[in-house]
Structures are given as C-alpha cells and as structure tokens.
Amino acid sequence: MKIGIAVFPGSNCDRDVHHVLNKVVGVNAEFVWHTQESLAGYDAFIIPGGFAYGDRLRAGVIAAHSPIMTSIKKLAKDGVPVLGICNGFQILVEAGLLPGALMMNSNLRFVCGWTKVQVENTKTPFTSAFAPRQQFPIPIAHGEGRYVVDTSTLQRLKRKNQVVLRYVNADPNGSTDLIAAVCNEETNVVGMMPHPERSSESILSPSKSTDPALIFRSLCSNLLPEVQG
C-alpha cells in the first residue's frame, strides 16, 4: 500500500500528514510534488492543508489547475480514494471534484481552535471505522472555511448522503447546515475543513482523544483488501 501526499508551494501540513500515516498509522506515504503528472502505483491521495500559492486570487484556485490535479482527477474518476484537508478541501472544490464553494468565515476572521464534529456518513473510505453519528473533538484553523451551497444543491447532498461531517453545537465559520465535510456521489472523494492530522495522537489533544486518527485508519482498512487481492 502506498499513499501519495500532494505538495504545493505553500503547503504546510504535508509533514503532519506524512508523520501520522508513516509513524502513527503505519503505512507507506510519500510526498509528491505538484508538477508530477505520473501517479502510477499510488493507492490513494491526500491533499493537505496550507496556503497553496499563497491563496492568491482565491484559496485553492491556482493549485486546482496544476499538473498533479489533472492526474488526481483521473484517479478520482477511477475510484481511487482522495482526501482534501482544509486547503486541500478548497482545492478539490475548485477542481470541480466536490460541489459547493468555500468562502470567508462569516465573522471575516481567521479562526483557530478546537471544535466537535459528528459523523453523518460512515460509507466513505475515510469514515468507515467510525460508529454512526459518533462525535469527536478536532481542531480547525482557517480563514476561508465557510462551506456554502444553494438550496437545491443542499437538498441533493442530503438525498445522496454526501454530508460526511457536521459541526456540533457550534458554528465556527457560518457553513451551510453546519457542514464540515462532504463527499462526491461515488463517496471516494472527501473534503473536510477540520485537521485530523493535528489531532491523531493523544499528546496533541486536550481530551486525550485519538478519534481523528480513524480518518486515516478507515482509509487503510478499505485499501488493504484491494492491495492484498
């Protein structure tokens, strides 16, 4: 099993993801520079957080047109699991792999702290290890994290079970329907605004929770049968 971590100029959570996958979860994960087009041999891809291209023009929009994203779109179409975290979520939306848009937080400020989310969909490669409606603490850190969709898109997301995570008892950024994560209709592409890579070890959590690591452990559990087969 080999997982690729896409790295853009301005990425700053790539090393956290690399540490969690290799040292905490125990799978082989490698950095892949944004200019690389051949992605043969990778079983999944993670696009980490940061400020790709300095968030110029709009967060994620320049990175969405880089060579690696052309290849990741093809992999996603073939069913390869792809996870975007924070800036990675913005890049997936700008690339057209996920619906909606990510806007400035409703208070127009950068927010950084802990929140709580609830798992709404356990049928994705990144949430299958969670119990239905399981709640867990997780950190957030973003300025453009307000996920917005129009009414008809929201209805479609609900009807097709594409809402993956919701914020619980808090509205950190003003997202539509408290949405913190969504997936595509095929469920193999997931974008989330919170940071599981910053909270997958008990030493990093005020509550000593390691539940966010289940995002990565879910992926490994889903990939392993295919890799072994």
Residue 226: its pLDDT value, please?
56
Which pLDDT value is given to residue 105?
A: 97
Indicate the pairing of strand 135-142 with strand 28-33.
Answer: unpaired
- Backbone angles phi and psi of 195, in degrees to 5: -110, 95
DSSP string, 117-183: EEE----STTTTTSPTT-EEEEEEEESS-EEE--HHHHHHHHHTT-EEEEESS--SS--GGGEEEEE
pLDDT at 225: 64
The reported pLDDT for the residue numbered 147 is 98
Q: What is the pLDDT at residue 170? A: 81
- Please give the Cα distance from 78 to 86 (Å, whole number): 24
- Answer for the pair 184, 109: CB distance below 8 angstroms, yes or no: no
Cα angle: 110, vertex 116, 121; to 5 degrees: 110
- Alpha carbons 109 and 119: distance in angstroms, whole number: 26
Contact 32, 7 (CB under 8 A): yes
Q: By the 8 A CB rule, do 59 and 144 touch?
A: yes
* Partners of residue 50 on adjacent β-strands: 11
3-state secondary structure (DSSP) of residue 214: helix
pLDDT at residue 224, rounded to an integer: 80
Q: Please give the positions annotated as active site.
A: 86, 195, 197
Map residue 194 onto helix, strand or coil.
Answer: coil
DSSP-assigned beta bridge partners for residue 137: 116
pTM of the model: 0.95
**What is residue 209's three-state secondary structure?**
coil
- Residue 229: the pLDDT is 44
Tens-digit pLDDT string for the chain (229 aa): 899 999 999 999 999 999 999 999 999 999 999 999 899 999 999 999 999 999 898 999 999 999 999 999 999 999 999 999 999 999 999 999 999 999 999 999 999 999 999 999 999 999 999 999 999 999 999 999 999 999 999 999 999 999 999 999 788 999 999 999 999 999 999 999 999 999 999 999 898 999 999 999 999 999 986 555 4
Token code pair at residue 205: 């959590």
How many CA atoms are closer than 13 Å to the CA of 180, on its beta-carbon side?
26
User: Do 34 and 9 form a contact (C-beta atoms < 8 A)?
Assistant: yes
